[in-house]
Amino acid sequence: MAVGAFMLCAVRRGILGGTFDPFHVVHLMAGDAARHLLDLDVVTYITAGDPYQKHDIPMSTKDHRWNMTVRGIGEVEYFEADDREVQRPGPSYMIDTLETFEADEEIFLILGADAAAGLATWHRWEEVVERTTIAVISRPGVAEEEVAATGAPYLWLDTPGIPISSTMLRARAEAGRSIRFFVPDPVWEYVEEQQLYAPA
């Protein structure tokens, strides 16, 4: 291949998938950290249409979770929200999603340490590892050894562990406590307006 001034560089894309129920500030922080540390062109937030590993947990509809994702990323120029898993019927397998991106893209899969430690439970996980570079965000309560134990290669991003989860925020809201400032303002407004986690 000729190398010259007009050679196009492949996109360096971060993918940050999630249930986003609700989308919270650590989702933003993780994408931003990955963007800076890995020199990414874009971080693509992919809302899981059917998070098949969470079927036993009550969950907001995919439309609500998608709306929170769009509102959560706001106007950040290097973030985008992507609804391909929301639109696709059936379980949201990451390998199916990865196969819909151009083969020449360099894809970094941004995972919290809990998700990275559970990678081997994913559908066709070896192919996910083959296709992407796994980039791990530390998470309180999960030791790096648990991630290393999967045997998959990974990059450990230097980020502070922040003990916030959507599960914790749903529980706070359902107990009548405020989740304001744990989530971006437009997400907080949406949760209030739709009464998503209103106390029983």
Interaction site with ligand ATP (CB under 6 A): 18-21, 26-27, 30, 111-112, 114-115, 137, 139, 162, 164-167
Strand 12-18 to 42-47 pairing: parallel
- Concatenating the DSSP letter of every residue in 137-181 gives E--TT--HHHHHTT----EEE--------HHHHHHHHHTT---BT
- State the nearest-atom distance from the C-beta of 87 to ligand ATP, in Å: 18
- Concatenating the DSSP letter of every residue in 87-122 gives HS-S---HHHHHTTS-TT-EEEEEEEHHHHHTGGGS
**Distance between CA atoms of 95 and 102, rounded to whole angstroms?**
13
Pick 26 or 128: Cβ nearer ligand ATP = 26
Pick 4 or 58: Cβ nearer ligand ATP = 58
With CB atoms as reference, the residue minimizing the distance to ligand ATP is 112
- State the nearest-atom distance from the C-beta of 196 to ligand ATP, in Å: 13
- State the nearest-atom distance from the C-beta of 100 to ligand ATP, in Å: 19
Pick 10 or 36: Cβ nearer ligand ATP = 36
- State the nearest-atom distance from the C-beta of 105 to ligand ATP, in Å: 20
Pick 90 or 160: Cβ nearer ligand ATP = 160
Nearest Cα residue to 62 out of 18, 100, 28, 101: 18
Secondary structure element (H or E) that encloses residue 69, with its range: helix 62-73
Pick 64 or 139: Cβ nearer ligand ATP = 139
- State the nearest-atom distance from the C-beta of 25 to ligand ATP, in Å: 9
Nearest Cα residue to 24 out of 154, 177, 186: 186
